[in-house]
Structure 1
């Protein structure tokens, strides 16, 4: 259930369109209370979640491939490979570096957790002012779950998945450590995106991971009761404009 704490009137469902309506319904129909400090924060969350979903689909179409760190690659004109990950070069703006992953995807190869962090960065870039993004995320270091503290990833237990959440399919009998599991974005409508597998239903994701088990495996992959989200209360202060004062941006 959606609760807005400062007594601002909650907008109606018909003030939104498309994916934002689906997100709204998932939040409102949840048995979990979703408290927002303001109407602005609530609407920001809808836009951010929608951008996470759109960005996941863009990555799926980008041409970026799946690879472990040993055979990974990032555009060398923008990133420097270190033993900890890929470090942004000092003369490149963070916003331009993140955009490059999605527009120049054939220059990139990485695994699924790196994909999630990149999706989060790109979605935040699409939702807040570019100037704020470049201030918050200077000298990016990207690989696995390395991320700037200002991204504010929050992980909780439970299966109350809202579109735009990141969820994990665990593969206990993996054949190669890179396939221990698959981090995915829940796209809504029963679909998940995982880098290296693509867009699948829950059953499709599990079936794909089951083909990546060691010989004579007995334990199937499964979706764990956990979800990761961004700190919208913190990030909403950096938005381009106040959503709550311009109803046109709802759609």
Structure 2
């Protein structure tokens, strides 16, 4: 359920005005047995907007010509990025972060990267389209794209043991008996879309079974353990983002998390937070 300080009348009026996907997310969270605490209606609305933008950014990346490749074979436009020795992309001096991220979608044929890098690109694109070019360029500078590397302002949160996920969450399908000769198929990072659909860079858009079947084709001969969806969900710290946009600068501290319930175990390491339910 969603817990807000505003009156039920104000909340109901705001919900009626939500676009379809944002309303779907709201209704699914509202019917959850887990409690989601928000400091204001504005904070809830911001999360819903970013989540919807994550879904759209994932669909757009699928429609671009960007390809799946390992770090060894990755490529990028040298107009906006410098490819590092390890296969990452470092934003070039003198270009705006908004332009560099948007170019991946406009000139996808110039880019190739693996699935973890893809989900970080999706998150950046979603934030960009939510807060606008000026705010994005002020808050995000000198981006570096490689696997799960991300700007500290995103501060990714991973919830374990929740048994649920919402559009805009990042999940992982693990392939425990992957063929070592095809190690790039050890798993797939996927973005949850509306309904029961997901996006996975290099595989496409479909339900979880589609990704499981794809990964199962790359197991060791005689393998008996199928690929499976992990019970975890990752998303940005929406509160930190909203605080930064409102203040005009990255927060000097990490605001508290939205979902705080008795019995949770929370740990923070660098720019990642883990919550165990």
How far is the alpha carbon of 1:7 from its aligned partner?
5.7
- Structure 2 vs 1, CA of residues 7 and 237 (structure 1 numbering), >3 Å: closer, same or farther? farther
Say whether residues 1:149 and 2:156 are aligned partners: no
**Cα displacement string for residues 173-221 of structure 1 (whole angstroms, at most 9, x for unaligned residues):** 1122211100000102111110011111111111111112232222110
Provide Cα deviations, 1:36-59, integer angstroms capped at 9, x if missing partner. 111111001111000000000000
Unaligned runs of 5+ in 1: 241-251
Structure 2 residue aligned with 1:15, among 2, 14, 17? 17
- Aligned position for 1:165: 169
* Equivalent position of 1:245 in the other structure: none
Q: Give secondary structure in 1 for the equivalent of 2:121.
A: helix
Aligned residue number for residue 123 of structure 1: 126
The answer on whether the counterparts of 1:2 and 1:27 sit within 8 Å (CA) in structure 2 is: yes
Partner of 1:174: 178
Partner in structure 1 of residue 243 of structure 2: 237
1:63 to partner: Cα distance: 0.8
Q: Is the 8 A contact 1:163 1:186 kept in 2?
A: yes
- Alpha-carbon shift at residue 5 of structure 1 (Å): 3.6
Residues 40 and 236 of structure 1 are in contact (CA less than 8 Å); yes or no, is this contact kept in structure 2? no
Residues 91-114 of structure 1, C-alpha deviations (whole Å, 9 max, x = no match): 110000000011111111001000
Aligned length: 240
Kindly indicate whether the alpha-carbon contact (under 8 Å) linking 1:166 and 1:228 is maintained by their aligned counterparts in 2.
yes
**Residue 227 of structure 1 aligns to a residue in which SS?**
strand
Alignment of 1:88-107 (within 5 A): 88-107=91-110
The 8 Å contact of residues 162 and 186 in structure 1, kept in 2 or not, is answered as yes
Partners of 1:88 and 1:129 lie apart in 2 by 19
Moved more, 126-135 or 231-240: 231-240
Gaps of 5+ in 2: 247-277
Output one character per residue of 1:141-181: Cα deviation in whole Å (capped at 9) or x when no partner: 11101111011211110222011111110011112221110
Paired with 2:151 and 2:238, the residues of 1 have a C-alpha distance of: 15
Match of 1:246? Answer: none
Structure 1 residues 214-247: Cα deviation after superposition (integer angstroms, max 9, x where no partner): 322221100001110111111123559xxxxxxx
TM-score w.r.t. structure 2 length? 0.83
Inter-partner Cα distance in structure 2 for 1:6 and 1:234? 21
2: distance between equivalents of 1:179 and 1:7? 49
SS in 2 for 1:149: coil
Tell me the equivalent position of 1:81: 83
Residue 132 (str. 1) matches residue 135 (str. 2): yes
Which residue does 1:24 correspond to in 2? 26
* 8 Å CA contact retained: 1:62, 1:105: yes
When the two chains are superposed, the root-mean-square deviation of aligned CA atoms in Å is 1.6
Distance (whole Å) between structure 2 residues aligned to residue 95 and residue 46 of structure 1: 21
SS at match of 1:150: coil
Aligned to 2:4: 4
